[in-house]
Structure 1
Amino acid sequence: MTVRHPQERGAALLSVLLLVAVMAVIAATALDRLTLATRIAGSAATVDQGRAYAFAAEEIALRRVGELVRRDAARLTLAGGWLGRDFTLPLPGGEGRARLSDANNCFNLNSLVAETAPGRFSQRSGAVAQFTELMTLLGIDRGEAMAIAGAAADWIDSDSNDGPLGAEDGVYRAMQTSYLPANRPMVDVSELRAVRGVSAKIYARLKPWICALPVTEPVRLNVNTLAPEQAPLVAMLVPGQISTADARAALAARPADGYGSAVRFWQARSLERVKPSQDVAEQAGVNSRWLALTTQVTMGDGFLTAHSLIDANGGAPAAGQVPPVIVRRDWGEAD
């Protein structure tokens, strides 16, 4: 017979307990990873379902915009209460909210340049002056505003030559964190943060007033959908000749069915003394090509936001020729 020492029995018991502990840790880790994988799969399914609902909201919005265009292809007004209004979309296990807004009523940063040849962009001095005026009306120092407008135009134009008060390659290379200007139209307004002179404070002040539309045409506002609080956008059109108060008065005096034409708008009592050139006068239009759709989908603990840009013209030269289309879509909260 083999005689075992009492201490050997303790070592065997300790080995068994250690093995059980290791197996418990492995099981707990596997269970934790399984739980995490289940949550990730559930979140992915929720996101996919939320995106499907957002796409459905886009289709509804396109139909609505198409109806507005068919009603009057030459003029878009606030009739029907479609602008800035939340439309609730009841969903299985959640809720969706969609809001249409006029994306024309902003300063398009890409209007700082004109496309003189395919893929070639040169500065548009009139737009630079208007951007400077808008910043001044918003309380930014005029000298600082001129420098930002010049640098923004240089950021987009195709050449590498410094414009008046502008900034090209040499300026950005000399910075502590060096980089180069894009020399192409902006895709998102957040690109303005990279332009020389644009601080976080200035960007926050400008953001509600600017946009980056996929065209380099001059700014064309819709005075039938502009709110009186957006009067600085009108005042910037003729720098130094229109006060914010006069622009606000013209918008407040808008007929219930909107202005019939740009001519009627400039004939408003508060603007009678202003004689803009024909090109500038047409920048205060009565129609909108660009509309923005914001969709928010809530499903349980999941939340999804989509921002869609609608071309009411469908890419055609004028409205009513082809159906409206989505030209850009962004997911998540805006910066």
Structure 2
Amino acid sequence: MKGRQEGVALITVLLVMSLALLLVSSLLRSHRLAVQSSAQLLHRLQLQQSGLSAETLALQFLQNAQWRDSKSVNLGQEWARLGTTFELDGATARIDIEDLAGRFNFNQLLKPGQVDQITLGRWAQLLQVLNLKAPDLTRLRPPYNAGLLSDISELRLVPGIDAQWLSRIRPWIALLPADATLNVNTASTTLLSTLEGMTPAAARALVAQRPLAGFSSVQAFTQAPVIEGLGVASHGLGLTGRWFRVTVQIEIGQRRLRLISDFERNRHNGRLQLLQRRFVPAYEKEISL
């Protein structure tokens, strides 16, 4: 009887020890996960802080008084040549600035009333160049939307538009006021190839021969020797823009992050106003979080 009691006591002690070991192991695992989570949070905060520092540096270029009051926004200006990699507070940073007026303004398709045929033609040509199916945008027109789009992801409201379609169209469109014009001094070959009578070869030649300081007037653009006679309309074209996208690539060791910030320059005092700011993984392309 005594031996049996001692055996039961021993088993009880072993069970208690096993439970204690399991509890300690669970606590250690939770502690390790908490430490890892805290480290990841600190790393992300460090990346974000470095990104904001780089963004501040980019704004100094955009605020440069030597060109901000110019009647032209062009690729010969300092902001357009900023794209480079440098060290910043222990991080490797790359800053790129883009004139969003060099993109197709999607909100032109949503303004009240009848959309003009020239704008519709350029939109159709852009879709053709990108090999994308034309969506039915009628459900995004008033009164279905409360106004113009503020985020491209709202296009998911249109049946047939999926993530792949959005990924293809994102780099080429912007959401600007409906009266914003396409800046021919910063527009890419792809956007210029959507203009009336323009061929891809003519667009490439035009970009190659475009003056570094940009065209002096829209008329000088439409009468450029390489496209003269093609019938490019001056409607919706301009030489400047007030909207800029700052893209910052930050790398610290093996960790990477991208900061995408959109700014609008006040037409009266020249100050830059933040429109939106997004931190995204380095491998994603303009996808809002």
The TM-score with structure 2 as length reference comes to 0.84
Match among 266, 273, 276 for residue 325 of structure 1:
273
Summarize the alignment of residues 1-335 of structure 1 with structure 2, pairs less than 5 Å apart: 5-67=2-64, 70=67, 73-79=70-76, 82-83=79-80, 86-114=83-111, 121-126=112-117, 127-140=119-132, 144-145=133-134, 148=135, 151-152=136-137, 154-159=138-143, 182-198=145-161, 202-213=165-176, 215-218=177-180, 220-227=181-188, 229-230=189-190, 233-238=191-196, 241-275=197-231, 280=235, 283-311=236-264, 313-314=265-266, 316=267, 321-332=269-280, 333=284, 334-335=286-287
The answer to whether the 8 A contact 2:202-2:227 is kept is yes
Q: Give distance in 2, aligned partners of 1:71 and 1:109.
A: 25
Relative to 1, partners in 2 of residues 1:285 and 1:237: Cα closer, same or farther, differing over 3 Å? same
Shift of 1:266: 0.9
Secondary structure of 1:226's counterpart equals: coil
Shift of 1:76: 2.2
Q: Give distance in 1, aligned partners of 2:71 and 2:77.
A: 17
Relative to 1, partners in 2 of residues 1:304 and 1:23: Cα closer, same or farther, differing over 3 Å? same
Runs (5+) with no aligned partner, structure 1: 115-120, 161-181
The TM-score with structure 1 as length reference comes to 0.73
Secondary structure of 1:88's counterpart equals: strand
The answer to whether the 8 A contact 1:76-1:224 is kept is yes
Relative to 1, partners in 2 of residues 1:290 and 1:128: Cα closer, same or farther, differing over 3 Å? same
Q: Give distance in 2, aligned partners of 1:84 and 1:111.
A: 29
Q: Give distance in 2, aligned partners of 1:296 and 1:27.
A: 42
Shift of 1:275: 4.9
* Aligned pairs, number: 282
Code of the aligned partner of 1:39: Q
Percent sequence identity is 26
Runs (5+) with no aligned partner, structure 2: none
Per-residue CA distance 1:76-106 (angstroms, 9 max, x = gap): 2222564375333424443222221222222
Q: Which residue in the other structure is 1:164 paired with? A: none
Q: Give distance in 2, aligned partners of 1:324 and 1:55.
A: 15
